[in-house]
A and B are shown apart, each in its own frame.
Chain A
Amino acid sequence: MSESPKVLLSTLMVLGAQSLEKAIPIDELALKLGIGVSELQVELDKLTGAGYAVTTRQAGRVRVYLTGTGVITASSAYS
């Protein structure tokens, strides 16, 4: 099992990125995870493709937040 989607999902969850209003800029997220933005973008594409997350552009910055499905998937990893 690949760990990276799991880590990314739970990171978005614990940072509270669960709605459009709470979406996190992906450059800040990349800093927190200690990876480059382009590397993060590859992982985010997987999450958005699977319906776990949504990316949006606000005030010139790309932001990301979890969908309900993403929240359920992140939660299920630890229960």
Chain B
Amino acid sequence: MALASLGHEVHVITLDFPGAPYEELQGSLYIHRVPVSAPAPSFHSWVLLFNNFFEKRVGQLAHEFGPPDVLHIHDWLTVPAGVAAKHLLRVPLVMTFHSTEASRSSNSPSTESAMVEGLEWWGSFEAARIIAVSGWMKSEVLTRLKTPEDKVEQIPNAVEPLKFEGPVDAMAARARWNVGEGQKMITAVGRLTPQKGFDDLIRAYPAIRRAVPESRLVIVGDGHMRTELESIADQEHVREVTTFTGFISDGELVEALRSSDVVVVPSRFEPFGIIALEAMAAGVPLVVSRVGGLKEIVDDSMDGIEVEPNNPSAIAEATIRILSDKELASRLAARGEEKVKSYSWENVAKRTLGVYQDAARRTKYE
């Protein structure tokens, strides 16, 4: 959308989604949702299958609109279609790494992981330029995929600060998630997967409750770990004061963040950590794990508090500090709001265009 706002014609090819139209046009942004009209025996074979459908759609669009100036793929899932389209259309290919399989799978080898890592390497080899969303991610690409350093550019993800401005009925929002008047709202947001460390936060919560009895924990998001997390909350005797919201809309997320007293990001692994930027934009103080992109976004004790990952005691201590010290909470939040201004979509779009131009310069076909 930011590239389209700068006057470029952008075509996004993505998967069909229940209830969404196959074709959508927003200004000069075209969204093409592709149905996959054949079943597959497994997730990984399905990925290869849908790449064939994507490749077909790229071909159709190239006939309809002319070949693109650049192809941009994200992570391993669309490498086969991207590489095929690059060679068929003879255009430059750019690849963004948001994470790597090795870090996602915690280095536990499996045949599926080997395939994904192979696709990651293939994409990185075929791409003229690579974008890594954090310094940590760049280091992963350089060391794991042996990519030449001059091929990789670090460009962060972005947030739109305006989205977090304007009035919010905090009392109504908090009531929706069982947070009463005068109570402290501790919020965590993300997919309910082991890498996010929400189990550590729930294990930290009894200690937080002892120090701040009027607090409530709100966990926003959904995922495979939900039942397990609910069980942990039961075991820790905090189920009654913990709300699992499930998926919520973007608007509700803004309301949740703006209504919070502290946002905790207890991840064990986080290539970037967009929620940290969103919390800063919402003017809420942060506790984050000292991992990956999070430790690059947050300056410890300046615009958030960093804690070691896998450490419920440290999470509890930092959260209690923020909830008990209004001056500290205000200072952290104010500095976060200032910092987040540098993470604008316009900046990211302009830097991405620079990468496209360089990719075009580096791509030569005889």
Contacts and interface: CB of A to CB of B under 8 A. Distances in A.
Interface in A25-79: 46, 50-51, 66-69, 71-73, 75-79
B107 interface: no
Contact of A6 (B19, B42, B224, B247): B224
B27 interface: no
A10 B43 contact: yes
Interface in B31-49: 36-43, 45-47
Q: Select the residue from B17, B18, B36, B247 with max chain A CB neighbours within 10 A.
A: B18
B223 interface: yes
B157 interface: no
A42 B16 CA distance: 28
Instruction: Bin chain B's interface residue count.
Output: 20 to 34
Interface residues of A, number: 27
Interface of B: 15-19, 36-43, 45-47, 75, 77, 98-99, 191, 193-194, 222-228, 246-247
A72 B247 contact: yes
Nearest to B191: A76
A57 B347 CA distance: 51
28 contacts: A1-B194, A5-B227, A9-B224, A14-B39, A14-B42, A16-B37, A16-B38, A18-B17, A18-B18, A19-B18, A46-B227, A50-B226, A50-B246, A66-B18, A67-B18, A69-B222, A71-B17, A72-B247, A73-B222, A73-B224, A75-B15, A76-B191, A76-B223, A77-B43, A77-B193, A77-B223, A78-B43, A79-B99
Contacts of A67: 18
Contacts of B77: 78-79
A43 to B, nearest CB: 12
B224 A13 contact: no
A72 B227 CA distance: 17
B18 A2 contact: no
Nearest to A18: B18
Nearest to B224: A6
B97 to A, nearest CB: 12
B246 A69 contact: yes
Given A68-B18, A69-B247, A50 B43 contact: no
B363 to A, nearest CB: 27
Given A14-B46, A69-B246, A78-B77, 16 more contacts: A5-B224, A10-B43, A13-B46, A14-B42, A14-B45, A15-B40, A16-B38, A50-B246, A51-B246, A67-B18, A68-B17, A73-B223, A76-B223, A77-B223, A78-B43, A79-B77
